[in-house]
Structure 1
Amino acid sequence: MVDQLREDRQAHDGDVTTPGFQAVASARIGAWVDAGEAPRWARVPADLVSRAGYLMCRNVYGIELPRTVALGRRVRIAHQSGIVIHPHATIGDDCVIRQNVTLGAGSGKPETFRRQAPRIGNGVSIGAGCAIVGGVRVGDGANLGPNTTIMTNVPEGATVVDQQPRVLRIPTVR
């Protein structure tokens, strides 16, 4: 875990005060405790640090990254605010997540909730405002543009963008 945190710090430009690093560190520490890898004497303090960090990141920074997420190495959360990640999502190595991103389930049915977790490959760049919904797979090296909604699998190396905005001419009332 120490090596992963060191790599995460480097991915966040060496700055441990960034909200993104703090969210990733809280999730890693919680996963370390849950996996039973923490020494017995460190379990309670590490669990408290993880829970406090999660609450701080969720309530102050707006980054909801549960400790149950399968988090790859060197994941970078580039900006804070409005980030919600499914508790059973998988995020690969060297991914970048920007502000207002949602990795969520397609429905709230308890019997299908776990299966609806998105799986993000290695080296994926997720643009601001992107929503990845349901049990979809985003292939390695994909680039997801800002404000895209992903509801189907994305192939490896693909670039996904939203439709071009169109200008509507609305008559003004005088």
Structure 2
Amino acid sequence: MALFSNIRADLKTYGGQWSQQGFWVMIVYRYGRWRYGIKNSVLRKPFSLLYRFFYKVVQILTGIELPCEVPVGRNFRIDHFGDIVISGYASFGDDCIIRNGVTVGLKNIEEKAAPKIGNNVNIGAGAKLLGNITIGDNVDVGANAVIISSVPANSIAVGIPARIIPKKS
């Protein structure tokens, strides 16, 4: 039942717009997370096969790669579709928004660590967040920013490489 309550919450996050491509991604993501709850590996195999099929279909249709291994918080929103890549090692807090062209991933292939995103983070179009970094709560990431070091809470990160600006209270 948690699967359906999560999907209902996601639909609410998308304003009831079931036609949003980000919502389609979230349905497949929630299904992928749900299948891990099936303890018997023999029973889980057909569900896993179905997940891999739907994951690839949604990836092709939307251009969004969100593996089910990524923990995401409540009200996670993919605001625009296309060219979004999220590493399976990343994590997101509550109330995060990402836009088209965003990459949240590994800095290099040898280091299997991706960004840990806090709560209430707004990631602008084309931003790249790479490596074993932490993005604090209440952070705005500007469009096309490249972030390769941690960003403290209540900040704005803009530029290449990103420059950190404290938010005015």
- The two structures have a TM-score, normalised by structure 1, of 0.82
Taking the aligned partners of 2:39 and 2:147, their CA distance within structure 1 comes to: 35
Matched, 1:25 2:27: yes
Asked whether the equivalents of residues 89 and 105 of structure 2 are also in contact (C-alpha less than 8 Å), the reply is no
What is the identity, as a one-letter code, of the residue corresponding to 1:25? I
Structure 2 counterparts to residues 79-118 of structure 1, below 5 A: 79-109=80-110, 112-113=111-112, 116-118=113-115
RMSD: 2.0
CA contact (8 A) 1:22 1:53 kept: no
Matching residue of 2:10: 8
Moved over 4 A (4+): 43-46
- How far the C-alpha of 1:2 sits from its partner, in A, is 2.3
CA shift at 1:106, angstroms? 0.7
- Is the Cα contact below 8 Å between 1:121 and 1:140 reproduced in 2? yes
Q: Which blocks of at least 5 consecutive residues in structure 2 are unaligned?
A: 161-169
**Preserved contact between residue 70 and residue 89 of structure 1 (Cα < 8 Å):** yes
Secondary structure of 1:56's aligned partner: helix
* Secondary structure in 2 matching 1:29: helix
Deviation of 1:79 (Å): 0.5
Cross-structure match for 1:157 = 154
Pair 142,22 (structure 1): closer, same or farther in 2 beyond 3 Å? same
State the aligned residue count.
157
Match of 2:144 in 1: 147
d(CA) in 2 for partners of 1:79, 1:46: 28
Normalising by structure 2, report the TM-score.
0.85
Counterpart in the other structure of 1:136: 133
The amino acid that maps onto 2:97 is: V
Tell me how far 1:48 sits from its aligned partner: 4.8
